[in-house]
Structure 1
Amino acid sequence: MAYTEDKHRANVLAEYLHLDKTTCSRENTFRTILDRFSKLDDVRKAIEATGVRECGIIFGIDYSKSNETQGAKTFQGQCLHAVKGKHNPYKEVICILGECIEELDDDGFIPVYGFGASGCDLFPLDKEKECKGFTEVLDAYERATSDVALGGATSMAPLIDKAVDIVKNTNKYHILVICSTGQLTCEKETVVAIVAASSYPLSIIVMGVGDGPWERMRHFDDQLPQRKFDNFQFVDFHCIKDTSRNPQAAVALAALMEIPDQYQYIRDLKLLEKMSKKSEGRN
Protein backbone atom coordinates (compact mmCIF):
# COMPACT_ATOMS: atom_id res chain seq x y z
CA MET A 1 0.00 0.00 0.00
CA ALA A 2 1.31 3.45 -0.90
CA TYR A 3 2.48 5.62 1.97
CA THR A 4 0.10 8.55 1.57
CA GLU A 5 0.47 12.04 3.03
CA ASP A 6 -2.66 11.50 5.13
CA LYS A 7 -1.13 8.38 6.66
CA HIS A 8 2.08 10.28 7.36
CA ARG A 9 0.16 13.08 9.09
CA ALA A 10 -1.69 10.52 11.23
CA ASN A 11 1.63 8.99 12.28
CA VAL A 12 3.06 12.41 13.12
CA LEU A 13 0.07 13.17 15.33
CA ALA A 14 0.42 9.82 17.09
CA GLU A 15 4.10 10.53 17.73
CA TYR A 16 3.30 14.01 19.03
CA LEU A 17 0.80 12.67 21.53
CA HIS A 18 3.27 10.16 23.00
CA LEU A 19 6.73 11.62 22.38
CA ASP A 20 8.91 13.04 25.13
CA LYS A 21 9.08 16.52 23.63
CA THR A 22 12.46 17.38 25.16
CA THR A 23 14.38 14.62 23.42
CA CYS A 24 14.97 13.21 19.96
CA SER A 25 15.09 9.55 19.11
CA ARG A 26 18.52 8.17 18.24
CA GLU A 27 17.38 7.49 14.71
CA ASN A 28 16.23 11.04 14.12
CA THR A 29 18.71 13.40 12.47
CA PHE A 30 16.81 16.59 13.36
CA ARG A 31 18.98 19.42 14.65
CA THR A 32 17.81 22.77 15.98
CA ILE A 33 19.24 25.69 13.98
CA LEU A 34 21.08 28.11 16.24
CA ASP A 35 20.77 31.88 15.91
CA ARG A 36 24.31 32.76 14.81
CA PHE A 37 24.16 36.18 13.17
CA SER A 38 24.51 39.56 14.87
CA LYS A 39 24.18 41.89 11.87
CA LEU A 40 21.51 42.13 9.19
CA ASP A 41 24.13 42.50 6.45
CA ASP A 42 25.74 39.22 7.53
CA VAL A 43 22.42 37.39 7.14
CA ARG A 44 21.87 38.91 3.71
CA LYS A 45 25.35 37.84 2.60
CA ALA A 46 24.76 34.33 3.96
CA ILE A 47 21.44 34.07 2.11
CA GLU A 48 23.17 35.08 -1.10
CA ALA A 49 26.00 32.62 -0.44
CA THR A 50 23.60 29.68 -0.05
CA GLY A 51 22.36 30.28 -3.58
CA VAL A 52 18.79 31.44 -3.02
CA ARG A 53 17.81 32.57 -6.51
CA GLU A 54 14.10 31.85 -6.83
CA CYS A 55 12.04 32.60 -3.76
CA GLY A 56 8.38 33.39 -3.14
CA ILE A 57 6.80 35.13 -0.14
CA ILE A 58 3.45 34.16 1.42
CA PHE A 59 1.91 36.26 4.20
CA GLY A 60 -0.65 35.19 6.82
CA ILE A 61 -2.55 37.32 9.36
CA ASP A 62 -4.24 36.11 12.54
CA TYR A 63 -7.87 37.21 12.92
CA SER A 64 -8.66 35.23 16.06
CA LYS A 65 -10.60 36.76 18.95
CA SER A 66 -7.44 36.76 21.07
CA ASN A 67 -6.48 39.98 19.27
CA GLU A 68 -9.09 41.82 21.38
CA THR A 69 -7.21 41.15 24.64
CA GLN A 70 -3.61 40.57 23.56
CA GLY A 71 -2.82 44.29 23.45
CA ALA A 72 -3.37 44.84 27.18
CA LYS A 73 0.34 45.42 27.83
CA THR A 74 1.86 45.88 24.39
CA PHE A 75 -0.74 48.08 22.64
CA GLN A 76 -2.26 50.33 25.32
CA GLY A 77 -5.15 47.94 25.90
CA GLN A 78 -6.43 48.22 22.35
CA CYS A 79 -7.38 45.46 19.95
CA LEU A 80 -4.26 44.58 17.96
CA HIS A 81 -6.26 45.09 14.76
CA ALA A 82 -7.30 48.67 15.58
CA VAL A 83 -6.83 50.29 12.16
CA LYS A 84 -7.54 53.95 12.87
CA GLY A 85 -4.73 56.36 13.68
CA LYS A 86 -1.17 55.15 14.17
CA HIS A 87 0.23 51.83 13.04
CA ASN A 88 -1.01 48.78 14.89
CA PRO A 89 1.42 45.84 15.43
CA TYR A 90 0.29 44.09 12.23
CA LYS A 91 0.93 47.21 10.15
CA GLU A 92 4.33 47.62 11.80
CA VAL A 93 5.34 44.06 10.95
CA ILE A 94 4.19 44.46 7.34
CA CYS A 95 6.18 47.70 6.95
CA ILE A 96 9.36 46.41 8.61
CA LEU A 97 9.42 43.09 6.75
CA GLY A 98 8.53 44.83 3.52
CA GLU A 99 11.92 46.52 3.57
CA CYS A 100 13.99 43.39 4.23
CA ILE A 101 12.10 40.40 2.81
CA GLU A 102 10.55 41.88 -0.32
CA GLU A 103 13.97 41.93 -1.99
CA LEU A 104 14.10 38.12 -1.75
CA ASP A 105 10.87 37.68 -3.74
CA ASP A 106 11.87 37.09 -7.34
CA ASP A 107 8.51 37.96 -8.95
CA GLY A 108 7.17 40.50 -6.44
CA PHE A 109 3.74 38.87 -6.08
CA ILE A 110 2.72 38.01 -2.51
CA PRO A 111 -0.34 35.87 -1.69
CA VAL A 112 -1.87 37.20 1.56
CA TYR A 113 -4.31 35.20 3.69
CA GLY A 114 -6.26 35.73 6.86
CA PHE A 115 -6.94 32.87 9.26
CA GLY A 116 -8.86 32.36 12.50
CA ALA A 117 -11.78 34.61 11.50
CA SER A 118 -15.34 33.77 12.46
CA GLY A 119 -16.81 31.15 10.13
CA CYS A 120 -13.74 30.99 7.88
CA ASP A 121 -10.54 29.02 8.50
CA LEU A 122 -8.65 30.71 5.66
CA PHE A 123 -9.40 33.47 3.15
CA PRO A 124 -7.45 35.72 0.75
CA LEU A 125 -7.28 39.35 1.85
CA ASP A 126 -7.56 40.47 -1.76
CA LYS A 127 -10.00 38.24 -3.62
CA GLU A 128 -9.23 39.83 -6.99
CA LYS A 129 -5.46 39.39 -7.19
CA GLU A 130 -2.20 38.67 -5.42
CA CYS A 131 -0.50 41.71 -3.91
CA LYS A 132 2.41 43.27 -5.79
CA GLY A 133 4.91 44.10 -3.07
CA PHE A 134 4.36 44.91 0.59
CA THR A 135 2.77 48.30 -0.13
CA GLU A 136 -0.18 46.42 -1.62
CA VAL A 137 -0.06 43.94 1.27
CA LEU A 138 -0.56 46.87 3.66
CA ASP A 139 -3.37 48.28 1.50
CA ALA A 140 -5.11 44.90 1.35
CA TYR A 141 -4.81 44.51 5.13
CA GLU A 142 -6.32 47.93 5.80
CA ARG A 143 -9.22 47.33 3.39
CA ALA A 144 -10.06 43.86 4.65
CA THR A 145 -9.63 44.21 8.41
CA SER A 146 -12.59 46.49 9.13
CA ASP A 147 -14.94 43.90 7.60
CA VAL A 148 -13.53 40.78 9.30
CA ALA A 149 -15.29 39.27 12.32
CA LEU A 150 -12.75 37.84 14.74
CA GLY A 151 -13.18 34.13 15.44
CA GLY A 152 -12.71 31.74 18.35
CA ALA A 153 -10.93 28.60 17.16
CA THR A 154 -7.39 29.20 15.94
CA SER A 155 -5.15 26.92 13.90
CA MET A 156 -2.23 27.74 11.63
CA ALA A 157 -2.73 24.42 9.83
CA PRO A 158 -4.97 25.66 6.97
CA LEU A 159 -2.49 28.45 6.19
CA ILE A 160 0.56 26.17 6.34
CA ASP A 161 -1.20 23.57 4.17
CA LYS A 162 -2.07 26.31 1.66
CA ALA A 163 1.56 27.41 1.58
CA VAL A 164 2.64 23.82 0.88
CA ASP A 165 0.15 23.70 -2.01
CA ILE A 166 1.65 26.90 -3.44
CA VAL A 167 5.14 25.44 -3.14
CA LYS A 168 4.03 22.27 -4.95
CA ASN A 169 2.30 24.20 -7.73
CA THR A 170 5.25 26.53 -8.36
CA ASN A 171 8.13 24.10 -7.72
CA LYS A 172 9.85 26.96 -5.91
CA TYR A 173 11.24 27.73 -2.46
CA HIS A 174 8.95 29.95 -0.38
CA ILE A 175 9.03 31.82 2.90
CA LEU A 176 5.74 31.84 4.82
CA VAL A 177 5.44 34.75 7.25
CA ILE A 178 2.70 34.34 9.86
CA CYS A 179 1.81 37.35 12.00
CA SER A 180 -0.06 35.99 15.02
CA THR A 181 -0.85 36.26 18.71
CA GLY A 182 0.22 32.61 18.97
CA GLN A 183 -2.77 31.69 21.12
CA LEU A 184 -3.78 28.48 19.38
CA THR A 185 -6.87 26.46 20.23
CA CYS A 186 -6.03 23.73 17.69
CA GLU A 187 -2.41 23.07 18.60
CA LYS A 188 -2.19 19.45 17.44
CA GLU A 189 -3.40 20.33 13.92
CA THR A 190 -0.74 23.03 13.73
CA VAL A 191 2.00 20.66 14.90
CA VAL A 192 1.08 18.10 12.24
CA ALA A 193 1.08 20.81 9.55
CA ILE A 194 4.51 22.14 10.62
CA VAL A 195 6.02 18.64 10.57
CA ALA A 196 4.44 17.79 7.20
CA ALA A 197 5.70 21.08 5.73
CA SER A 198 9.29 20.10 6.57
CA SER A 199 9.19 17.69 3.61
CA TYR A 200 8.99 20.70 1.28
CA PRO A 201 11.19 23.72 0.45
CA LEU A 202 9.32 26.05 2.80
CA SER A 203 10.55 28.24 5.66
CA ILE A 204 8.03 29.38 8.27
CA ILE A 205 8.54 32.62 10.23
CA VAL A 206 6.05 33.46 12.99
CA MET A 207 6.05 37.09 14.09
CA GLY A 208 4.49 37.06 17.55
CA VAL A 209 2.39 40.16 18.25
CA GLY A 210 0.67 40.88 21.55
CA ASP A 211 1.35 39.95 25.16
CA GLY A 212 1.98 36.21 24.82
CA PRO A 213 2.78 33.85 26.51
CA TRP A 214 5.04 32.37 23.85
CA GLU A 215 6.04 28.98 25.28
CA ARG A 216 4.25 27.02 22.56
CA MET A 217 5.78 29.07 19.75
CA ARG A 218 9.26 28.60 21.23
CA HIS A 219 8.57 24.88 21.50
CA PHE A 220 7.63 24.76 17.81
CA ASP A 221 10.84 26.65 17.03
CA ASP A 222 13.31 24.49 18.96
CA GLN A 223 11.64 21.10 19.35
CA LEU A 224 9.34 18.92 17.17
CA PRO A 225 12.11 16.43 16.30
CA GLN A 226 9.81 14.61 13.86
CA ARG A 227 10.65 17.29 11.30
CA LYS A 228 13.01 16.74 8.37
CA PHE A 229 14.71 20.03 9.26
CA ASP A 230 14.16 23.00 11.57
CA ASN A 231 11.71 24.87 9.34
CA PHE A 232 10.19 27.22 11.94
CA GLN A 233 11.49 30.52 13.34
CA PHE A 234 9.65 32.42 16.09
CA VAL A 235 10.19 36.14 16.67
CA ASP A 236 8.84 37.97 19.74
CA PHE A 237 8.10 41.21 17.89
CA HIS A 238 7.44 43.52 20.83
CA CYS A 239 10.35 42.27 22.95
CA ILE A 240 12.86 42.79 20.14
CA LYS A 241 11.38 46.11 19.02
CA ASP A 242 11.26 47.56 22.55
CA THR A 243 14.78 46.51 23.59
CA SER A 244 16.76 47.49 20.49
CA ARG A 245 18.44 50.75 19.50
CA ASN A 246 17.53 50.09 15.87
CA PRO A 247 14.18 48.24 16.11
CA GLN A 248 13.63 47.80 12.38
CA ALA A 249 17.03 46.22 11.78
CA ALA A 250 16.72 44.05 14.90
CA VAL A 251 13.30 42.69 13.89
CA ALA A 252 14.48 42.04 10.34
CA LEU A 253 17.59 40.26 11.64
CA ALA A 254 15.53 38.02 13.93
CA ALA A 255 13.10 37.19 11.12
CA LEU A 256 15.80 36.23 8.61
CA MET A 257 18.18 34.64 11.15
CA GLU A 258 17.58 31.00 10.20
CA ILE A 259 16.91 31.39 6.46
CA PRO A 260 20.51 30.66 5.34
CA ASP A 261 20.75 27.43 7.35
CA GLN A 262 17.21 26.38 6.48
CA TYR A 263 17.90 26.79 2.79
CA GLN A 264 21.14 24.84 3.14
CA TYR A 265 19.19 21.98 4.75
CA ILE A 266 16.69 22.15 1.89
CA ARG A 267 19.57 21.82 -0.57
CA ASP A 268 21.23 19.01 1.38
CA LEU A 269 17.94 17.09 1.59
CA LYS A 270 17.33 17.78 -2.13
CA LEU A 271 13.75 18.83 -1.38
CA LEU A 272 13.45 20.95 -4.53
CA GLU A 273 14.68 18.10 -6.72
CA LYS A 274 12.38 15.57 -5.05
CA MET A 275 9.40 17.87 -5.49
CA SER A 276 10.22 18.40 -9.17
CA LYS A 277 10.37 14.64 -9.72
CA LYS A 278 6.98 14.19 -8.05
CA SER A 279 5.55 16.93 -10.26
CA GLU A 280 6.96 15.27 -13.40
CA GLY A 281 5.46 11.95 -12.31
CA ARG A 282 2.00 13.51 -12.02
CA ASN A 283 2.19 15.04 -15.51
Structure 2
Amino acid sequence: MGGCQIHFTVAIDFTASNGDPSNSQSLHYMNHREPNEYVKALRAVGEICQDYDSDKKFPAFGFGARVPPDYEVSHDFPLNLNPDDPDCDEIKGVILAYQRCLPSIKLYGPTNVSPIIRRVSRLAEAEMQTGIPSKYYMLLMLTDGVVTDLSETRDLIVEASRLPLSIIIVGVGNADFSDMRALDGDDGILLSSYGQEAARDIVKFVPFRDFKKAPTSALAKYVLAEVPKQVVEFYASQGIAPEPHKQSVVPPRRGENGGEQTGAKGATS
Protein backbone atom coordinates (compact mmCIF):
# COMPACT_ATOMS: atom_id res chain seq x y z
CA MET A 1 0.00 0.00 0.00
CA GLY A 2 3.04 2.22 0.39
CA GLY A 3 4.15 1.58 -3.19
CA CYS A 4 6.68 -1.23 -2.63
CA GLN A 5 7.01 -3.33 -5.78
CA ILE A 6 8.19 -6.90 -6.32
CA HIS A 7 10.82 -7.02 -9.07
CA PHE A 8 10.60 -10.55 -10.40
CA THR A 9 13.45 -12.18 -12.38
CA VAL A 10 13.30 -15.63 -14.00
CA ALA A 11 16.24 -17.97 -14.69
CA ILE A 12 15.85 -21.25 -16.61
CA ASP A 13 18.25 -24.21 -16.78
CA PHE A 14 19.38 -25.13 -20.31
CA THR A 15 22.04 -27.69 -19.43
CA ALA A 16 22.33 -30.86 -21.52
CA SER A 17 21.05 -33.04 -18.66
CA ASN A 18 17.55 -31.80 -19.54
CA GLY A 19 17.68 -33.84 -22.74
CA ASP A 20 17.37 -32.86 -26.39
CA PRO A 21 14.29 -30.58 -26.69
CA SER A 22 13.24 -32.44 -29.85
CA ASN A 23 12.98 -35.69 -27.85
CA SER A 24 9.66 -36.37 -26.13
CA GLN A 25 11.58 -37.48 -22.98
CA SER A 26 13.27 -34.09 -22.65
CA LEU A 27 12.20 -31.75 -19.84
CA HIS A 28 12.23 -28.99 -22.48
CA TYR A 29 10.06 -30.89 -24.95
CA MET A 30 7.26 -28.73 -26.32
CA ASN A 31 3.99 -30.05 -27.70
CA HIS A 32 0.55 -28.60 -28.32
CA ARG A 33 -1.26 -30.97 -25.97
CA GLU A 34 0.38 -30.12 -22.66
CA PRO A 35 2.99 -27.60 -21.44
CA ASN A 36 6.23 -29.02 -20.08
CA GLU A 37 7.19 -28.80 -16.39
CA TYR A 38 9.21 -25.62 -16.87
CA VAL A 39 6.20 -23.80 -18.30
CA LYS A 40 3.84 -25.20 -15.66
CA ALA A 41 6.07 -24.08 -12.79
CA LEU A 42 6.66 -20.67 -14.37
CA ARG A 43 2.93 -20.08 -14.76
CA ALA A 44 2.06 -21.25 -11.26
CA VAL A 45 4.51 -18.95 -9.50
CA GLY A 46 4.87 -16.12 -12.00
CA GLU A 47 1.23 -15.36 -12.58
CA ILE A 48 0.83 -14.55 -8.87
CA CYS A 49 4.06 -12.55 -8.55
CA GLN A 50 3.22 -10.38 -11.56
CA ASP A 51 0.29 -8.84 -9.68
CA TYR A 52 2.79 -7.14 -7.36
CA ASP A 53 4.77 -5.43 -10.13
CA SER A 54 2.96 -2.53 -11.76
CA ASP A 55 4.85 -2.42 -15.08
CA LYS A 56 4.55 -6.22 -15.59
CA LYS A 57 8.01 -6.37 -17.19
CA PHE A 58 10.21 -9.27 -16.14
CA PRO A 59 13.90 -9.83 -16.90
CA ALA A 60 14.29 -13.46 -17.95
CA PHE A 61 17.54 -15.38 -18.39
CA GLY A 62 18.86 -18.80 -19.23
CA PHE A 63 21.98 -20.58 -18.05
CA GLY A 64 24.11 -23.53 -19.16
CA ALA A 65 23.73 -23.20 -22.94
CA ARG A 66 25.79 -22.25 -25.97
CA VAL A 67 24.28 -19.05 -27.30
CA PRO A 68 24.40 -17.43 -30.76
CA PRO A 69 26.10 -15.84 -32.58
CA ASP A 70 29.41 -17.26 -31.27
CA TYR A 71 27.84 -20.20 -29.40
CA GLU A 72 29.94 -19.62 -26.30
CA VAL A 73 28.61 -21.07 -23.04
CA SER A 74 26.63 -18.51 -21.03
CA HIS A 75 25.15 -18.71 -17.55
CA ASP A 76 23.08 -15.52 -17.69
CA PHE A 77 21.91 -14.91 -21.25
CA PRO A 78 18.59 -13.12 -21.90
CA LEU A 79 15.80 -15.44 -23.02
CA ASN A 80 14.79 -12.97 -25.72
CA LEU A 81 18.45 -12.98 -26.89
CA ASN A 82 18.52 -9.17 -26.60
CA PRO A 83 21.41 -8.24 -24.26
CA ASP A 84 20.34 -4.59 -24.25
CA ASP A 85 16.83 -5.31 -22.95
CA PRO A 86 16.15 -8.67 -21.26
CA ASP A 87 12.64 -7.62 -20.13
CA CYS A 88 9.58 -9.61 -21.21
CA ASP A 89 5.99 -8.37 -21.03
CA GLU A 90 4.13 -10.33 -18.35
CA ILE A 91 4.65 -14.03 -17.67
CA LYS A 92 3.17 -14.94 -21.04
CA GLY A 93 5.99 -12.90 -22.61
CA VAL A 94 8.57 -14.87 -20.62
CA ILE A 95 7.04 -18.14 -21.83
CA LEU A 96 7.01 -16.90 -25.43
CA ALA A 97 10.70 -15.88 -25.21
CA TYR A 98 11.51 -19.30 -23.71
CA GLN A 99 9.74 -21.12 -26.56
CA ARG A 100 11.40 -18.97 -29.22
CA CYS A 101 14.95 -19.30 -27.90
CA LEU A 102 14.93 -23.12 -27.61
CA PRO A 103 15.60 -23.77 -31.34
CA SER A 104 18.38 -21.14 -31.40
CA ILE A 105 20.56 -22.34 -28.53
CA LYS A 106 22.50 -25.52 -27.79
CA LEU A 107 22.05 -27.18 -24.41
CA TYR A 108 25.39 -27.64 -22.70
CA GLY A 109 26.60 -27.06 -19.12
CA PRO A 110 27.73 -27.03 -16.35
CA THR A 111 24.92 -26.03 -13.95
CA ASN A 112 26.38 -22.77 -12.63
CA VAL A 113 23.79 -20.59 -10.90
CA SER A 114 26.10 -18.10 -9.16
CA PRO A 115 26.28 -15.71 -12.18
CA ILE A 116 22.52 -15.09 -12.22
CA ILE A 117 22.38 -14.75 -8.41
CA ARG A 118 25.22 -12.23 -8.60
CA ARG A 119 23.40 -10.27 -11.32
CA VAL A 120 20.21 -9.86 -9.27
CA SER A 121 22.17 -9.26 -6.04
CA ARG A 122 23.85 -6.24 -7.63
CA LEU A 123 20.44 -4.73 -8.37
CA ALA A 124 19.24 -5.42 -4.82
CA GLU A 125 22.43 -3.89 -3.41
CA ALA A 126 21.89 -0.70 -5.41
CA GLU A 127 18.27 -0.55 -4.20
CA MET A 128 19.42 -0.88 -0.60
CA GLN A 129 21.32 2.40 -0.91
CA THR A 130 18.05 4.30 -1.37
CA GLY A 131 16.96 3.63 2.21
CA ILE A 132 13.29 3.40 1.25
CA PRO A 133 11.10 0.30 0.73
CA SER A 134 10.37 0.74 -2.98
CA LYS A 135 11.79 -2.39 -4.68
CA TYR A 136 12.11 -5.92 -3.33
CA TYR A 137 13.76 -8.45 -5.67
CA MET A 138 12.67 -12.03 -6.22
CA LEU A 139 14.60 -14.55 -8.31
CA LEU A 140 12.82 -17.68 -9.58
CA MET A 141 15.28 -20.36 -10.73
CA LEU A 142 14.01 -23.46 -12.53
CA THR A 143 16.62 -26.23 -12.72
CA ASP A 144 16.81 -29.97 -13.32
CA GLY A 145 19.93 -31.00 -11.46
CA VAL A 146 22.84 -30.68 -9.10
CA VAL A 147 24.47 -27.25 -8.87
CA THR A 148 28.09 -27.36 -10.05
CA ASP A 149 29.26 -24.18 -8.30
CA LEU A 150 27.68 -25.01 -4.93
CA SER A 151 30.34 -23.41 -2.71
CA GLU A 152 30.25 -20.08 -4.57
CA THR A 153 26.45 -20.20 -4.61
CA ARG A 154 26.31 -20.69 -0.83
CA ASP A 155 28.63 -17.73 -0.31
CA LEU A 156 26.52 -15.49 -2.55
CA ILE A 157 23.30 -16.50 -0.81
CA VAL A 158 24.79 -15.73 2.62
CA GLU A 159 25.86 -12.29 1.34
CA ALA A 160 22.47 -11.72 -0.31
CA SER A 161 20.65 -12.50 2.96
CA ARG A 162 21.42 -8.89 3.92
CA LEU A 163 19.78 -7.51 0.77
CA PRO A 164 16.12 -6.97 -0.33
CA LEU A 165 16.08 -10.30 -2.16
CA SER A 166 14.36 -13.69 -2.00
CA ILE A 167 15.27 -16.74 -4.10
CA ILE A 168 12.84 -19.46 -5.14
CA ILE A 169 14.30 -22.66 -6.63
CA VAL A 170 11.98 -25.12 -8.35
CA GLY A 171 13.53 -28.51 -9.08
CA VAL A 172 12.26 -29.93 -12.37
CA GLY A 173 12.52 -33.65 -13.15
CA ASN A 174 13.60 -36.57 -10.96
CA ALA A 175 17.19 -35.72 -10.08
CA ASP A 176 18.75 -35.84 -6.61
CA PHE A 177 18.10 -32.37 -5.22
CA SER A 178 19.86 -32.80 -1.87
CA ASP A 179 22.23 -29.90 -2.61
CA MET A 180 19.26 -27.64 -3.34
CA ARG A 181 17.60 -28.60 -0.08
CA ALA A 182 20.80 -27.65 1.73
CA LEU A 183 20.49 -24.09 0.39
CA ASP A 184 17.01 -23.79 1.91
CA GLY A 185 17.45 -22.53 5.45
CA ASP A 186 14.46 -24.42 6.89
CA ASP A 187 16.72 -27.04 8.48
CA GLY A 188 19.15 -24.60 10.09
CA ILE A 189 21.16 -21.45 9.47
CA LEU A 190 23.00 -21.49 6.14
CA LEU A 191 26.77 -21.08 6.48
CA SER A 192 29.18 -19.79 3.86
CA SER A 193 32.40 -21.64 2.99
CA TYR A 194 34.24 -19.34 5.37
CA GLY A 195 31.82 -19.83 8.28
CA GLN A 196 29.67 -16.70 8.01
CA GLU A 197 26.02 -17.17 8.97
CA ALA A 198 23.16 -16.02 6.78
CA ALA A 199 21.35 -13.02 8.27
CA ARG A 200 17.98 -14.58 7.38
CA ASP A 201 16.51 -17.40 5.32
CA ILE A 202 15.96 -16.14 1.77
CA VAL A 203 15.79 -19.43 -0.19
CA LYS A 204 12.78 -21.65 -0.78
CA PHE A 205 13.33 -24.92 -2.63
CA VAL A 206 10.56 -27.18 -3.88
CA PRO A 207 10.72 -30.24 -6.18
CA PHE A 208 8.05 -29.85 -8.84
CA ARG A 209 7.38 -33.60 -8.85
CA ASP A 210 5.70 -33.26 -5.43
CA PHE A 211 3.00 -31.09 -7.03
CA LYS A 212 2.43 -32.83 -10.36
CA LYS A 213 -1.01 -34.09 -9.38
CA ALA A 214 -1.96 -31.10 -7.24
CA PRO A 215 -3.87 -28.01 -8.42
CA THR A 216 -1.69 -25.26 -9.88
CA SER A 217 -2.54 -23.03 -6.94
CA ALA A 218 -1.03 -25.54 -4.50
CA LEU A 219 2.51 -25.07 -5.88
CA ALA A 220 2.21 -21.28 -5.82
CA LYS A 221 0.86 -21.30 -2.27
CA TYR A 222 3.67 -23.52 -0.98
CA VAL A 223 6.47 -21.70 -2.83
CA LEU A 224 5.34 -18.19 -1.92
CA ALA A 225 4.28 -18.89 1.68
CA GLU A 226 7.52 -17.55 3.17
CA VAL A 227 7.95 -14.46 0.97
CA PRO A 228 5.82 -12.00 3.03
CA LYS A 229 7.77 -12.94 6.16
CA GLN A 230 11.06 -12.52 4.30
CA VAL A 231 10.06 -9.06 3.08
CA VAL A 232 9.03 -7.91 6.57
CA GLU A 233 12.14 -9.40 8.20
CA PHE A 234 14.44 -7.57 5.80
CA TYR A 235 12.95 -4.11 6.26
CA ALA A 236 12.62 -4.61 10.03
CA SER A 237 16.31 -5.58 10.22
CA GLN A 238 17.18 -2.31 8.48
CA GLY A 239 14.86 -0.21 10.61
CA ILE A 240 12.92 0.81 7.51
CA ALA A 241 9.21 1.44 8.03
CA PRO A 242 6.59 1.26 5.25
CA GLU A 243 6.06 4.44 3.27
CA PRO A 244 2.83 6.36 3.96
CA HIS A 245 -0.19 4.95 2.14
CA LYS A 246 0.02 6.28 -1.40
CA GLN A 247 -3.28 7.19 -2.99
CA SER A 248 -4.32 8.25 -6.45
CA VAL A 249 -7.34 10.48 -6.83
CA VAL A 250 -10.12 9.06 -8.99
CA PRO A 251 -12.53 11.28 -10.94
CA PRO A 252 -15.72 12.35 -9.13
CA ARG A 253 -18.65 10.05 -9.77
CA ARG A 254 -22.36 10.69 -9.64
CA GLY A 255 -24.15 9.66 -6.46
CA GLU A 256 -27.60 8.18 -6.34
CA ASN A 257 -29.12 11.61 -5.67
CA GLY A 258 -27.41 13.16 -8.69
CA GLY A 259 -24.69 14.88 -6.65
CA GLU A 260 -20.99 14.25 -7.03
CA GLN A 261 -19.00 11.85 -4.85
CA THR A 262 -15.24 11.69 -4.55
CA GLY A 263 -13.05 8.74 -3.75
CA ALA A 264 -9.51 7.50 -3.57
CA LYS A 265 -7.97 4.39 -4.94
CA GLY A 266 -4.97 2.60 -3.40
CA ALA A 267 -1.82 2.07 -5.40
CA THR A 268 -0.28 -1.33 -6.14
CA SER A 269 0.58 -3.14 -2.93
| Shorter-chain TM-score tier | 0.7 to 0.9
Residue 81 of structure 1 aligns with which residue?
28
Aligned partner of 2:200 in structure 1 is 229
Residue 235 of structure 2 is aligned with which of 249, 263, 267? Answer: 267
Tell me, which stretches of 5 or more residues in structure 2 are unaligned? 67-72, 129-134, 192-196, 242-269
In the alignment, which of 61, 66, 74 is matched to residue 120 of structure 1? 74
Offset at residue 106 of structure 1 (A): 3.0
Cα distance change on mapping 1:82 and 1:272 into 2, 3 Å: farther
> Which position in structure 1 is the counterpart of 2:11?
60
Structure 1 residues 194 and 135, CA, compared in 2 at 3 Å: closer, same or farther?
A: same
Provide the C-alpha distance between the structure 2 equivalents of 1:98 and 1:229, rounded to a whole number of angstroms.
23
- Overall identity of the aligned pairs, in %: 31
Give the gaps of 5 or more residues in structure 1.
1-47, 274-283
**Poorly superposed stretches of 4+, deviation over 4 Å:** none
Q: CA deviation at 1:115?
A: 0.9
Question: Which residue identity lines up with residue 166 of structure 2 in the other structure?
Answer: S
Aligned to 1:277: none
Cα contact 1:173–1:272 (8 A) shared by 2? no
**Distance change >3 Å, CA 56–CA 272, structure 1 → 2:** farther
Measure the CA separation in 2 of the matches of 1:272 and 1:182. Answer: 38
TM-score, length basis structure 1 = 0.70
Q: Which moved more, 1:231-240 or 1:83-92?
A: 83-92
> Can you list the C-alpha shifts for 1:19-72, whole angstroms capped at 9, x where unaligned?
xxxxxxxxxxxxxxxxxxxxxxxxxxxxx8xx7822210110011122129x9x
Residue in 2 that maps onto 1:201: 164
Larger radius of gyration: 2
Structure 1 pair 170–145 and aligned structure 2 pair: CA distance change class (3 A): farther
Kept in 1, the 8 Å contact 2:14–2:109? The answer is no
Write out per-residue CA displacement over residues 230-261 of structure 1, whole angstroms, 9 at most, x where no aligned residue.
0000011121232x3xx211101111011011
Matches within 5 A, 1:47-196: 53-68=4-19, 78-85=25-32, 86-118=34-66, 119-126=73-80, 127=82, 129=85, 130-171=87-128, 172-196=135-159
Describe the shift of the 1:97–1:209 C-alpha distance in structure 2 as closer, same or farther (beyond 3 A). same
Q: Is contact 2:146-2:180 (8 Å) kept?
A: no
Larger RCO (alpha carbons 8 Å, 6+ apart): 1
Letter matched to residue 170 of structure 2:
M
Query: How far apart, CA to CA, are the structure 1 residues paired with 2:3 and 2:209?
Result: 29
Structure 1 residues 271 and 229 mapped into 2: Cα distance closer, same or farther (>3 Å)? farther
In 2 relative to 1, CA 189–262 (structure 1 residues): closer, same or farther, beyond 3 Å?
same
Work out whether residues 155 and 189 of structure 1, in 8 Å CA contact, stay in contact via their aligned partners in 2.
no
Could you state the TM-score of these two structures normalised by the residue count of structure 2? 0.74
- Aligned-residue CA RMSD in angstroms? 2.4
C-alpha contact (below 8 Å) 2:4/2:136 kept by paired residues: no
The Cα offsets for residues 138-181 of structure 1, whole Å up to 9 and x where unpaired, read as 11100111212112211110010011122234552111111111
Structure with higher helix content: 1
